[in-house]
Amino acid sequence: MKTDELIVVGIGPGPVKYLTQEARDLLLATERVYFRFSGHPVYTWLREQGKECLSFDSLYMQDGMTYERLFLTIDQALIRAAKKSGRAVYALPGNPYVFELTPKWLKLMCEQERMKLRIVPAMSFLDELYVELEVDPEAGLQILNASSFSYYGDYPFTEKLGLLIGQVGLPQGKSPRGKKDNVQALTKCLLAKFPRSHRVTLIWSTGMPDYQNRRVTVVLKDLPKQARFTKHLATLYVPPVKPPWEWVDNASHAAKQRAKKKRPKRARATRSTRT
């Protein structure tokens, strides 16, 4: 008995040139491909190749739609499509396991339906940013979602390591149609640990058709004034307040000083004098 299969394929952070060979071969061998939204160069490219491309754009515009309901609706539609045709291919921007809940949810749903799930990895937006920002995660890096700051109000992070904060500019709250973005809430949380004058870099893509990266560096307190640049979604880089090795050196020095203070003093030997 043949098992139904659902394939989630990463299509990279933008330009078609970032597609892996595996993803390219898979997409070109598929007649119908599902997309979360149509605003991606791979969607346009595949249509030019004569492929049927179906997007879920309309779901984002429905009144009362929440992100949780949106993703669940899409996942259920994919399961039905795979069961009907024996196989369904779903294209996700970037890497399917970077800033995505869909693969985890689909894994549970496919297990319940006794369906095979295959994930095709890809280049993520993070890989591109390491080069653009000249940041090496080896030095210590926190990767967070801006929506977490606005949703929880307070989010654990340290000023001792750099931060890469993705999805800056998304609507605040649980709905994709929210009127207020998450930039103000994000700035408030960062100011709790970083100086107001701390310089941060906002980087974003111009989107279709050229997909060029742009950036602006500002002091942290002025970040909300840059909200106009987040319409395509942006990533914020917040460098540590000082290089990580300085924290380590200072901590080591402080530990040595504390150890010296706790060390018991040796009693001085006294010379006995015979009378």
Distances (CA, A) of 3 to 10, 83, 110, 263, 271: 22, 9, 11, 69, 92
pTM score, two decimals?
0.84
Strand partners, 217: 201
Largest CA distance in the chain: 114
- The predicted pLDDT at position 129 comes to 93
Cα separation of 33 and 29, whole Å?
A: 10
Q: pLDDT by residue (tens digit) across 133-191?
A: 999 999 899 999 998 887 777 788 999 999 999 999 888 878 887 788 889 999 999 99
Confidence of residue 274 (pLDDT cuts 50, 70, 90): very low
User: Each residue of 74-95: pLDDT tens digit?
Assistant: 999 999 999 999 999 999 999 9
Q: Which domains are delineated in the chain? A: 5-123 (3.40.1010.10), 126-243 (3.30.950.10)
Length of the chain in residues, anyone? 275
